[in-house]
């Protein structure tokens, strides 16, 4: 994030709004994947484009840290050993129905098929593995909207 002295005066209000949002925790992303290398790679990629990211490889631990309003976005693998991403999503949605959900899968599954199979599970986006930087960035930016654009 730029130094406050380097921001033109007409952008100070916008800068302060962004700083306050970041301090409130409302723009954090939770990444959950039981494969540590993937989880760390996603964290690094998201941090490089300016997001604050908490990474978990254990869905049970992620559940204990999840609270209403803490995260704007959750990115989770579907297939994990301790708990599926679907189970994780079902458990967090009653806690925070506003959080956006992105599920990652190596399965050949499109959005329509997903909605047919699991109509009661709200998911905002599906990303097919392997996850490319452009797929990740496009999904994140499209879901979080202008209020959570990456830092410049």
What are the boundaries of each domain within the chain? 25-146
Q: What is the DSSP letter of 11?
A: G
Q: Residues 72-101: pLDDT tens digits?
A: 999 999 889 889 898 999 899 999 999 999
pLDDT for 116: 54
pLDDT for 120: 60
Q: How confident is the model at residue 123 (pLDDT cuts 50, 70, 90)?
A: confident
CATH number among 3.40.50.1980, 3.40.50.2300, 3.90.1560.10, 3.40.50.300, domain 25-146: 3.40.50.2300
Contacts of 77 (CB under 8 A, 6+ apart): 32, 33, 34, 35, 38, 85, 103, 104, 105
Q: What is the DSSP letter of 81?
A: S
C-alpha R_g of the chain = 16
Read off the tokens for 6: 């380097």
pTM attached to this predicted model: 0.73
pLDDT for 118: 54
CA distance linking residue 100 with residue 89, whole number of Å: 10
Q: Residues 32-88: pLDDT tens digits?
A: 999 999 999 999 988 888 889 999 999 999 999 999 999 999 999 988 988 989 899
Residue 134 has pLDDT above 90, yes or no: no
Q: Could you tell me which residue, 119 or 38, shows the higher pLDDT?
A: 38
């Amino acid at each position: 994030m730029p130094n406050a002295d380097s921001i033109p005066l007409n952008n100070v209000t916008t800068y302060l709004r962004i700083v306050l949002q970041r301090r409130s925790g409302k723009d954090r992303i939770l990444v959950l994947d039981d494969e540590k290398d993937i989880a760390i790679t996603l964290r690094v990629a998201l941090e490089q484009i300016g997001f604050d990211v908490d990474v978990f490889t254990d869905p049970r631990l992620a559940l204990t840290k999840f609270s209403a309003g803490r995260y704007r976005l959750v990115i989770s693998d579907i297939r994990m050993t301790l708990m599926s991403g679907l189970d994780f999503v079902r458990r967090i949605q009653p806690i925070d129905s506003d959080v956006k959900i992105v599920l990652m899968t190596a399965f050949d599954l499109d959005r329509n098929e997903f909605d047919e199979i699991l109509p009661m599970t709200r998911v905002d986006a599906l990303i097919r593995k392997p996850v490319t930087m452009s797929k990740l960035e496009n999904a994140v930016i499209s879901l979080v909207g202008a209020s959570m654009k990456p830092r410049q």
